[in-house]
Amino acid sequence: MKLQVIMEYNDEGYLFYFKKYTGAYVRGKTKEEAFSKISQELDSYLKWSCMDENILLDSIEPQVIQEKKSSLKIDDADSDIIFESEKTPLSYSEYSELEKLVLRSAYDFSNMYESIPDKDQTVLKTRKTFYGEVPVTAREMYEHTNNVTSYYAKEIGIDFINDPDIFKNRLNVLQEIEKKEDFLLNKVLLGSYDEFWSVHKALRRFIWHDRIHAKAMYRMALKTFKKDIYNPFFFI
């Protein structure tokens, strides 16, 4: 099976996004390392999203359909790419499918967080990255993941104040998007740091960003508490 992917890369690493599977991604220091993770990521994504697709995971052939060489911290999942497919108008059914995934992602992220016995305990050491200190406790990961909501909203022209509950916050921002009469036109806007945005891109970024920090939270919790926690994303 050919899997269409978008590649964002530099000398420090590679990010590959799955065009058909919104928010699914792999990364690695080399293209080969990233490609080696595709089957596992697609397997967990299909289980999480409840997509009824019969795919032979061992037969996947990645096909790069768009690429961008980046000056950002790709190795820390810094990204500013907009897909060509995120520049065209959305049908209502396309938007509805994206909306369902965006809400499912927030709901599952919240439930994973609530299953962690101590939100402030961690074995991880702090380190700095492009946005400051990397969150290392469940609480820090939850707050960081939720707090990008107002930033994404601003980039598509919406003034927004975050609610501390990630699921309520996600519902609220979607309601604000839908108040815009022309939201389905999916206009491309120039945002901060000369980065291009659209409604479609913002929705994809919610799911992608959730997955990054849900994976980090799950792995941190396994190391810290030495027992399984709730895993609605089907991470391995």
Residues 213 and 113 in one domain: yes
In Å, how far from its chain's centre is CA 161?
A: 21
Residues 65 and 89 in one domain: no
Which residues span the domain enclosing 143? 85-225
At 14-38, the pLDDT tens digits run: 999 999 999 999 999 999 999 999 9
Percent of the chain residues topping a pLDDT of 90: 92
Pick the last residue of a domain from 79, 104, 128: 79
Distances (CA, A) of 212 to 177, 202, 205: 24, 15, 10
At 49-78, the pLDDT tens digits run: 998 777 888 889 999 999 999 999 999 999
Residues 187 and 121 in one domain: yes
What's the confidence (pLDDT) of residue 214?
Answer: 98
Of all helices (H) and strands (E), which one includes residue 23?
Answer: none
User: What CATH number does residue 53 fall under?
Assistant: 3.30.2390
Q: How far apart are CA 64 and CA 83, in angstroms?
A: 12
Q: How far apart are CA 27 and CA 7, in angstroms?
A: 10
Handedness of CA 83, 89, 93, 98 (dihedral sign): positive
Per the structure, the count of domains in the chain is: 2
